[in-house]
Amino acid sequence: MKLALINSAWESAEKCRNCEIRNLVLFADLTQEDFNLIHLPIDDYDLEVGETLYNESMPPKFIFTIRSGMVKLVHWLPNGNYRIVRLLRQGDVGGMEALNATPYLHQAIVLQKTSICRIPVEEIERLNRESPRLHKRLTSRWQKAVSDADIWLAHLTVGSAKKRVANLLLYLEKNCEQGLGKSLLLGREDIGALLGITTETASRIIAEYKRFGVIRQTSDPLVVDIDKPELQQIAEND
Amino acid sequence: MKLALINSAWESAEKCRNCEIRNLVLFADLTQEDFNLIHLPIDDYDLEVGETLYNESMPPKFIFTIRSGMVKLVHWLPNGNYRIVRLLRQGDVGGMEALNATPYLHQAIVLQKTSICRIPVEEIERLNRESPRLHKRLTSRWQKAVSDADIWLAHLTVGSAKKRVANLLLYLEKNCEQGLGKSLLLGREDIGALLGITTETASRIIAEYKRFGVIRQTSDPLVVDIDKPELQQIAEND
DNA sequence: CGGATCGTTGACAGGTATCAATGCTGGTGG
DNA sequence: CCACCAGCATTGATACCTGTCAACGATCCG
């Protein structure tokens, strides 16, 4: 049993060392010695659309890095409504609240098939104490979370509903890994919760964009081709 | 010259050790030995309404803790409009971007006479390396900045303009140090930039609240008495 | 006293929420 | 295989809200 645990830990360190997106995530700057410090298992696994990564009532024992895919952070309001406060994409870290021994602040739900690394908080704390390189990475991740939230606020909650949807589509084109000119097309309810508008308004605008050819269906119903210049035009003027 | 610097450093460490709000800010957990590590001067000073604490084009060499008062973080948009992305109040830390050697992300402008501690980034970095207690504090401040931003988003950018203003007044009552039942009354333009509404709409709503006695002028034109239950009522239902 | 700045108010058009009804699609069980 | 259902997306009608443009009042200060 103990041996199994040690093997597992060794394996996970090995996997991290060879991880192809390592330069994007927490362990980018770790050295060989740092990896030797890893004792607890780091699990990696995939989640399907709609599955929950963590929520407010789970014990905050892990942080999560996104290897690929996309996750929404949902904040539930007392009246049963909800608001999406951020999207996590490749290289982002979720659940960092756990590092301060406080409960998770959101429910994290998968929007696109997503590949995850789940890292025990204990492990992070040990490395944090013993590896200044990891510490540096962690604080810069934290900063990224703050500045993402600010940019969100400044771009996605101002202007008309049309502008907001245009900005969202442009944001997704950049960040959803579907390739140039392609964007993930979220459910209308999610679009509403992201932009602070109703589902009906979101639907109307998406339908209108489709009619005018600003966005076009692809073979995958969850992905659309977008007319980037046109959307940028809408986002700025109109 | 060198002696003067050393004296100044010694003095600032001394001041921090005796600071009456120390338990709120970064140095809460530092020990005597930790203070002995402080070599660079930590300045404290006051700023008046409208003065700028830092902005995007200043070299990011300091972080700032708010001893008292209130500061807005302004994000300028390309078209000349601006959005207030967060408010800093007693115990908050501003300009933490500097710790990652990136430019400041906002312009920080004083809303209420504010008392500041300005701490050199170099100093923080040294302490961070040598004092695990400070490190812990720093990460928890960072978390606070993230969760503040999220709460902001979830409460102050949804619902009707009336609800948003009500929520803002309740938020200020809790956080502006004017005492129970009293709230800082911001300029209408600031209210607009905070809530994502126009100045005119902000003005209409404030004027209406005044007419119905939900808020009442005090001797200080920048402070109002608020009818808390009524505002909570408005924030939830209506 | 005049000018600048900020707050207030009005009129109006356009945008958005709301309520309600109707398509559309994928999955399930007969 | 098909009928049916549940969940989403779409669309319409309408009232309300908010942005916009414009004018006017209040206050402060030189």
- Cβ–Cβ below 8 Å for B97 and A143: yes
CA of A66 to C1' of D23 (A): 56
The answer to whether B141 contacts chain A (CB < 8 Å) is: no
pLDDT class for B63, splitting at 50, 70, 90? very high
Bridge partners, A54 (sequence order): A108
- Locus of tokens 């579907």: A178
Q: What angle do CA A238, B81, B141 make, to 5 degrees?
A: 120
> What confidence score (pLDDT) does residue B143 get?
83
The distance of A145 to chain B (nearest Cα, Å) reads 7
A201-237 residues labelled b (16+ CB within 10 A) or e (exposed): bbebbbeebeeeebbeeeeeeebbbbbbeebeebbee
Alpha-carbon distances, residue B93 vs A99, A161, B27, B137, B197 (angstroms):
19, 34, 12, 11, 27
Give the pLDDT confidence of B68-115 residue by residue, as tens digits.
999 999 998 877 788 999 999 999 999 999 988 999 999 999 999 999
Q: Tens-digit pLDDT profile for chain A (238 aa)?
A: 555 555 565 667 788 888 888 888 888 888 888 888 888 888 999 999 999 999 999 999 999 999 999 999 999 887 778 999 999 999 999 999 998 899 999 999 999 999 999 999 999 888 888 887 887 888 888 888 888 888 888 888 889 999 999 999 999 999 988 889 999 999 999 999 999 999 999 999 999 999 999 999 998 889 999 999 999 999 987 6
> What confidence score (pLDDT) does residue B29 get?
85
Nucleic acid strand C within 7 Å of B201 CB: no
A53 vs B238: CA distance, rounded Å? 35
The answer to whether B196 contacts chain A (CB < 8 Å) is: yes
A189 vs A207: CA distance, rounded Å? 14
Domains of chain A: 2-145 (2.60.120.10), 157-236 (1.10.10.10)
Number of other residues whose CB lies within 10 A of the CB of residue A33: 9
CA of A111 to C1' of C29 (A): 30
> What confidence score (pLDDT) does residue A74 get?
95
Nucleic acid strand D within 7 Å of A8 CB: no
- Cβ–Cβ below 8 Å for B143 and A85: no
| One-character DSSP codes across A13-69 | HHHHHH-TTGGGSGGGG--HHHHHT--S--EEEEE-TT-EEE-TTS---EEEEEEEE
The one-letter amino acid at B13: A
Residue B127 in this model has a pLDDT that exceeds 80: yes
CA of B191 to C1' of D23 (A): 23
Residue B2 in this model has a pLDDT that exceeds 70: no
B27 vs B85: CA distance, rounded Å? 26
> What confidence score (pLDDT) does residue B4 get?
52
The distance of B98 to chain A (nearest Cα, Å) reads 10
Nucleic acid strand C within 7 Å of A198 CB: yes
Cα torsion angle, B105, B107, B108, B111, sign = negative
Nucleic acid strand D within 7 Å of B203 CB: no
> What confidence score (pLDDT) does residue A135 get?
78
B196-220: average pLDDT: 95
- Cβ–Cβ below 8 Å for A153 and B158: no
- The residue in chain B having the minimum alpha-carbon distance to the alpha carbon of residue A84 is B154
> Which residues on chain B are in Cβ contact (under 8 Å) with A152?
153
> What confidence score (pLDDT) does residue A226 get?
96
Residue B189 in this model has a pLDDT that exceeds 90: yes
A86 vs B153: CA distance, rounded Å? 10
A71 vs A81: CA distance, rounded Å? 19
B17-33: average pLDDT: 84
- Cβ–Cβ below 8 Å for A150 and B86: yes
Beta pairing, strands B43-47 & B82-88: unpaired
Of the candidates B92, B123, B1, B111, the residue with the CA atom closest to the CA atom of residue B49: B111
B123 vs B125: CA distance, rounded Å? 5
- Locus of tokens 């009818």: B227
The answer to whether B106 contacts chain A (CB < 8 Å) is: yes
B141-148: average pLDDT: 84
The answer to whether B122 contacts chain A (CB < 8 Å) is: no
CA of B207 to C1' of D25 (A): 14
Among the listed ranges B6-10, B67-71, B219-223, which one has the minimum average pLDDT value? Answer: B6-10
> What confidence score (pLDDT) does residue B227 get?
96
